[in-house]
Amino acid sequence: RIVARHADAATWDALHRMAQKETSSMIRDHDYLLLATAKDATLAQRALDMALTDEPGATNSASMISLASYDHPDLAFDFAVAHRERVDTLVSTGSRARYYPYLGMHSDDLKMVDKIQAYADRYLAPTSRRDADVAIAAIRTSAKLRAQRVPQIKAWLAAWKG
């Protein structure tokens, strides 16, 4: 996990080749999911693009998009919405109202609130927006805490430098 998370392009490619060659379906599935955990945005994009192919297997594809959203919520959310028709085939009908908003939930950027709200307004029935509301509340809380705490942390670190 640590190697996949901090992979450069060459390491990511090596991990990808390992996944392709793996004969155990359980290990192969795990390897494909690890590809989506890269901190590097370019590699995360490669994992997202791969998720829409048949290569990782249908059961892994939605999870790969979700895993990429932890470090790259904007990238994953925008990707999923841009490819909504294809992504909808990977997520059960009953899970869609939760899946898309939760892709953006790890953001602390208030612009994501607008994106989730626009998605909910366009694709979710008013009675199915609870998960969108939860994601929006989480983002607002993260943004508020970040605005409050980052200056405090910086001041504390500056005081302890000497």
Q: What would the pLDDT profile of 42-78 be if each residue is shown by its tens digit?
A: 999 999 999 999 999 988 999 999 999 999 999 999 9
Please give the single-letter amino acid code of residue 97: A
pLDDT of residue 59: 86
* C-alpha–C-alpha distance, residues 27 and 151, integer Å: 43
- Phi first, then psi: what are they for 114, rounded to 5°? -65, -40
Q: Per-residue pLDDT tens for 77-119?
A: 999 999 999 999 999 999 999 999 999 999 989 999 999 999 9
In the prediction, which pLDDT does 58 show? 83
pLDDT band for 138, please (50, 70, 90 cuts): very high
For the chain, what percent of residues have pLDDT higher than 90?
A: 93
- pLDDT at position 162: 58
Let me know if 161 is exposed, middle or buried by CB neighbors in 10 A (0-12, 13-18, 19+).
exposed
> Among candidates 41, 37, 36, which has minimal Cα distance to 52?
36
| pTM attached to this predicted model | 0.91
Token pair, residue 28, equals 């192969």
pLDDT at residue number 82:
98
